Chains A and B, each alone.
Chain A
Amino acid sequence: MASHLSGGKVNVALVQELARKELLQLLGKCDGSKAMVWDESLAGPVGLVAKYDLLRENEVLKMFPLRAGHLPPSPVKNIIFITRPQLHLMDLVADNIYGEERSGGCRKEFHLFFVPRKSLLCEKWLKNRGVYGNFALIEEFACDLFPFDSDLMSMELESAFKEYYLENDPTCLYQAAQAIMTLQSLFGVIPRVSGKGPAAKQVWDLMCRMARAKQDTERPGLIPQSQIDHLLLVDRGVDLLSPLATQLTYEGLIDEIFEINNTTAQFPSERFTKSDDVPTNLSDERKQIILNSGEELFAEIRDKNFNAVGPALSRKAKLISSQFEERHGEKTVQEIKQFVARLPHMMATKASLATHTTIAELIKEVTDSNSFLESLQTEQEFMNGIDTDKVHPYIEDCIAQKEPLIKVLRLVCMQSVTNSGLKPKVLEHYKREIIQTYGFQHILSLTGLENVGLIKLQQGARQYTILRKTLRLTVEDGSEITPTDISYVHSVYAPLSVRLAQYLVRPNGWKGLQDVLGLLPGPTIEESQSLPAGHGPRRGSISSQ
């Protein structure tokens, strides 16, 4: 069912399995037909765990987004709200219940499932709103991790960085620690732990605390063998630059241009030829495409630099057409039979080739545009430390032409990071330009960026220059088609966090890197977790401290 999840080193499908089981168990507690009301930020992620078909098998007849006001009428016995534990959502839930109560009709049972944890605060809020008593069940659907691919899981906490760095709210760290504990209960204790940055340290501390509390309740026999041997925790604050840089891999560009949410991206549908076997809804203006390694071709090209995607696609096209040509050569019945057996796979490849060729064309239109190229050029100048200390004319032109604010801010932030802070004059100039052009309210946006350190004033040491040299963050002559270094993903720049990970797998680990690590914010973690006896990996165990 979820083949794309189980191919990797650890079987990510287990995570899906666990979550699915839990959801079904929760649904089982509500007897009879059900309607589910979704916190919209969860509908996508939970879809990765349980498809609608599965829910329908469990008598979920209707699905509604959680919105203010009335619920659409539905002839069901149970109404299940499934939300993150956030107060503004509780208000919506309360509204819905009031609406439902007032409308009369047949009595319905209300249930509330919190994802991933119950919250006393929310329950109190519901009590204050006077609807707490209306719920037959208040449960938690403890799903911290949503499986994306055989080597990727996400917690889908979109605003974690903002919450932690701007609002100083450490909720996401607690959730991260919980999620790692869940992983460990599935795949065994992870013997080595490395990390960098204040948030990483906090997550590690919480993990230790949880492990202590857990020792009490868990029987040693239940802990599986260690399947993951190293955990790397990186605080985003350590590497602010990487997410600012434009991604240049195939998948990266799809995300930059069309946005990938929960492994699904939406494209303008008129560009896709309508094949007969896929019924397309005419009213659907966007075509949804699920992107994961379950699709052979996508798995092959997703991480290629976009410049290498064209050749790869044409190679594949030739291969397919030659395979189709073969049929003229078939002589014996046996050979024809073999050909026919291969046919479905070939058809699938052909369809996927058509899809990705269309997507590549769509991307190429953007990447060939002047604005894309000029902006990329500016980025690369910054990465290489060229002209980072003065007002950049391209940024000025962007502002003057009122290009999207996000693009302008991204470049300004990048300049600030690569210059290790901007001179007061430069910063004030940018600020004035932005406020005069985009409106005074953006004084708050700029303050926010300053508070989280994405923009700052220059002070003393120029860490970026040192980091760039010692960690080889920029590589000029890397090949994009047959890359030998990770810098191909941004065509010049190798993401700092990836470099840290690369050093970690070297024999000496981070030992030779102390100077560099000292330049980065927050403490460095290099710890090991003791394993229950007989659960370590075979090769020599690591001493615990």
Chain B
Amino acid sequence: MSAMLTADWCPLGRDTYFRKFEIYSMTWQNEINMENVSVAVGQYGGPIAIIRDRKKFVKVQGIGKPIISIYSASGKTISSTVWSSGQIIQLGWSSTEDLLCIQDDGSVLIYDMFGSYQHTFSMGQEAKDMKVIEAKIFANINGTGIAVLTSSYRFFLVNSVKEPKVRRLPEVPSLSVPPSSWTIISEDRQIRILVAKDRELFVLKQSEQHALPVVPDFIEPISAIIEMSVSQNNRHIALFADSGCLWIGSADLRERYCEFDTKCPSRPKQLVWCGTEAVIGYWDNVLLVIGRQGDHINYGYDSAVRLVPEMDGVRVLSTYSHEMIQKVPLVVQQIFRINSTEPGSYLLEASKQFQKRSHRADEYIRLVKDHLEVAVKQCIEAAGYEFDAGNQKMLIRAAQFGKGFIADLNPDSYVKMCHLLRVLNAVRDHKIGIPLTCTQLQHLTIQVLLDRLVVRRHYYLAIQIARYLKLPYNEGSSRILAHWACYKVKQTQLDSEQVARDIADKLGYAPGVSYSEIAMKAADCGRMQLAIKLMDYECSASLQVPLLLRLGEDRPALVKAIESGNTDLVYTVLLHLRENMPLGEFQMAVRNYPVAQALYLKYCRDHNRETLRDIYVQEDDYNAQAACFIRESYDPKNTLTMEASLSAAQDSYRRARNEFAAGLCEEQQKLLRYQKTLEDKFRREFVGRSLHDTVYFLLLLHETKLADKLRTEYRVTDRRYWWLRIQSLSELGEWMELDKFSKSKKSPIGIEPFVDVCLKHKNRSEAEKYLPKVKDELKVKYYVKAGMFEEAARIAFEQKDLQALLFVQGRCASADRNLSDKISHLVTQLSTKK
């Protein structure tokens, strides 16, 4: 078996082997003739776009317009479209597997794999005016970039087709004919274009003003560099000169690995890197593999082929088959090389013997006893590099066999490889047609592979893989389901009701599914009904509401916003409605929702007083209308007079049958009018004072009569009027008057306030006049207030009030030791009496 395995190996130099094997035999062999088409192939086993080669004459059937056909890597038709736009300069694929069609007017049209148009961007006005003559598509850190060469020999490039921002590169000095060749080197963030003007080389950088000349050190003299190629990792470069000489070296041209004479001076049809170890040149009928050390292998072909460089090899597409040329991975070489003494090789042999039930299995195991772990590791690793399921099984079986002899081996790498192989075999299947290698998958990640399956609409397989690998829901299944749903809603021929139900059945309330995203897609396709139905399944109101608004579903949006309790959303809906509806209709709509109404009122209170009152009028809320008028009357910006506003308020209150408040309004108007006459009379400020303050002010002005009049007119209570009199008299220091007043009538508030005001103005002698008349139960307290502790104590003693006596003592203790002692005496006296 191992003999067969190594049959397709060719040595390149001493220790390196290259192998060539078939991946698929092409389904397209009856449709496509590689001789007269131009081909664009996506990397990582991507799709293939084919268009008739303009430069070749063929018999045309049907319409004259070119057709772009898209096939899977196994040659299965995916789609085909009639091209009706301008002249295509270059076809290519982006890293997200969109088809990029670069036209001679510098516009880049983007299509998906199924031939449906996505969008267009332009390479700039100058490219449009001068026409594009050549274009190259390249991968970089931002995704996929495009560089074009115009007929004025200027270069323009965009770093990423996702965010196309056209940059102009410096001019190559005195370039009057097209450059003999050019290529792009994208290292990290820096993108350089390497241009050959015959034997001179220039590097163009975005950041530099001028082109920088560089000189590769060719040993043999050359006259022009007519082809160049950069390796996939952008570290190495190959330059092909018109002498047939191939220079291989580092991408910065500082180091030369070798110089090789191909003895073939014509320009190769393709020159590509095969991994990082070798360069493959393709001339008619021959593939020449040239190693970095200058060794070479020849492969003959009798029909046209297309080379597709990958990170770990080159795929060779022809009319009939799809092959892979790659350097034999080291570990595969170690196991299968003839006379290998590597542990993996022995383990494989042991495993084979074991399956034959031969005792020699034991002998082989003994040979590797000490290196079993390495042996198992090698077998596992080698299995990953094999495309043939039989070889994979053979190696995995060997690993499993070896594992049994190691006590505590960590099985993770074994299990992981089995998983990986199962996934790889599934996607490599002819029907799916993604010929990924293990190395490529690891570089691409499972996530991207799932995305690629989704792009191909292999939803079921993608979900199976996600489940098989136990990916978390929101990274795996639910994301795929969401994509499926988006695809589903785009099929406009299906019934909305049915689609909504189908989607809900499949997705349910699966975690991480955003129904709003799906609904948005549906809306984009013009399927409003479907979008609205889908929105019902969305849990998050903050996603639901804006979309419902976009769909013109105003009422449901309002209801959902209110239900969510998030008032910010309610406001959003309200303002949206307010801007898009006639005012009357808006107000009628809002009034059915109390929360919305309240929030709108609150908003109006701060920003639109007029509207606020309109609503109250509409709602017949007279009390609230009155409140508006009153608030307005205090607003300095008010256009009406204060009286007018108040009278409006009075009317409103009356309508609300709030006679009491209406009466208050009326009184206030009367008071205002009166205050104005007072102002005229006294030239003092009255307006704005309360009734109480007005009366007090009049009393201070000695206008007792006017105060009296106001008092009766506004029915000021006796209690308050007495307080006013007492306070004003004491304020004026009219102690005689105060005394007179105290005797004029029986005070409704007692005599105590008289004491209080005297004390307030620190007039103790006046206070003493009133003290004897203080009510008995308050006497002690008031004497203390006046600071007359001795009398207070005496009264307390007379009243036989022990508590009061102690209270007095407590208050005076610090002030007067003597008195305190006296009181103590009285206390004991009082206690003993009892």
Contact = CB atoms under 8 A, between A and B. Distances in A.
Contact of A121 (B571, B605, B634, B724): B571
A88 interface: yes
B602 interface: yes
A439 B690 contact: yes
Interface in B588-616: 594-595, 598-599, 601-602, 605-607
A170 B595 contact: yes
A117 B719 contact: no
Interface string A358-400: 0000000000001000000000000000000000010011011
Contacts of A167: 598, 601-602, 605
Contacts of A212: 539
Nearest to A203: B565
A294 to B, nearest CB: 36
Given A216-B539, A396-B719, A400-B724, A437 B567 contact: no
B664 A121 contact: no
Contacts of B540: 213
A435 B666 CA distance: 13
A64 interface: no
Given A437-B691, A438-B690, A444-B630, A173 B565 contact: yes
Given A436-B716, A440-B664, A441-B634, A400 B575 contact: no
B572 interface: yes
A396 B539 CA distance: 57
B594 to A, nearest CB: 7
B630 A443 contact: yes
B627 A447 contact: yes
Given A436-B714, A443-B661, A216 B565 contact: no
A212 B566 CA distance: 15
Contact of A206 (B565, B599, B631): B565
B719 A444 contact: no
B740 to A, nearest CB: 21
Contact of B664 (A213, A397, A435, A437): A435
Contact of B512 (A170, A205, A217, A436): A217
B575 A124 contact: yes
A120 B602 CA distance: 17
Which range contains the number of B residues in contact with the other chain?
Answer: 35 or more
Given A120-B572, A444-B630, A437 B565 contact: no
A401 interface: yes
Nearest to B564: A209
Contacts of A428: 660
A489 B720 CA distance: 34
A455 B100 CA distance: 74
A85 interface: yes
A88 B606 contact: yes
A473 interface: no
Contacts of A543: none
Contact of A436 (B568, B690, B719): B690
B627 A202 contact: no
B594 A168 contact: yes
Interface in B469-484: 474
Nearest to B545: A120
Contacts of B571: 119-121
A120 B545 CA distance: 12
Interface in B507-530: 509-512
A21 interface: no
B283 interface: no
Nearest to B649: A443
Interface in A415-437: 428, 431-433, 435-437
Contacts of B474: 217
Nearest to B474: A217
A174 interface: yes
Interface in A84-124: 85, 87-88, 117, 119-121, 124
Nearest to A177: B565
Given A174-B565, A209-B564, A209-B565, A444 B717 contact: no
A169 interface: yes
B568 A402 contact: no
A219 to B, nearest CB: 8
Contacts of A205: 565
A171 interface: yes
A205 B562 CA distance: 13
Interface string B551-595: 000000000000111111101100100000000000000000011
Contact of A437 (B599, B671, B720, B785): B720
Nearest to A168: B598
Nearest to A173: B565
Interface in A211-229: 212-213, 215-217
B6 interface: no
A11 to B, nearest CB: 29
B568 A120 contact: yes
A372 B692 CA distance: 24
B690 A437 contact: yes
B511 A402 contact: no
A184 to B, nearest CB: 17
A443 B720 contact: no
Nearest to B563: A209
A174 B567 contact: yes
A121 B565 contact: no
A121 B595 contact: no
Nearest to A120: B572
A174 B566 contact: yes
A167 B602 CA distance: 7
Contacts of B720: 396, 399-400, 433, 436-437
Nearest to A448: B627
Nearest to B715: A432
B406 interface: no
A443 B599 CA distance: 24
Contacts of A206: 565
B539 A213 contact: yes
Contacts of A393: 719
Nearest to B603: A87
A355 to B, nearest CB: 23
B749 interface: yes
B15 to A, nearest CB: 50
B735 to A, nearest CB: 20
A170 to B, nearest CB: 6
B719 A170 contact: no
A440 B690 contact: yes
B564 A400 contact: no
B400 interface: no
Contact of A432 (B509, B594, B664, B724): B664
B623 interface: yes
Contacts of A171: 567-568
Contact of A120 (B511, B569, B594, B661): B569
B697 interface: no
Given A174-B566, A202-B565, A400-B720, A447 B623 contact: yes
B38 interface: no
Contacts of B566: 174
A90 B716 CA distance: 47
B723 interface: yes
Contacts of A444: 627, 630-631
A206 B512 CA distance: 21
Given A88-B606, A216-B511, A436-B691, A119 B565 contact: no
6 contacts: A87-B606, A121-B568, A206-B565, A209-B563, A401-B727, A444-B630
Interface of A: 85, 87-88, 117, 119-121, 124, 167-171, 173-174, 177, 202, 205-206, 209, 212-213, 215-217, 370, 393, 396-397, 399-402, 428, 431-433, 435-441, 443-444, 447
Task: Give 7 nearest A-B pairs by CB, closest first.
Answer: A168-B598, A400-B723, A437-B692, A439-B690, A121-B571, A436-B691, A400-B720
Given A170-B595, A396-B719, A437-B691, 16 more contacts: A87-B606, A121-B568, A167-B601, A167-B605, A177-B565, A202-B565, A212-B539, A393-B719, A396-B717, A397-B723, A399-B720, A401-B723, A428-B660, A438-B692, A439-B689, A441-B630
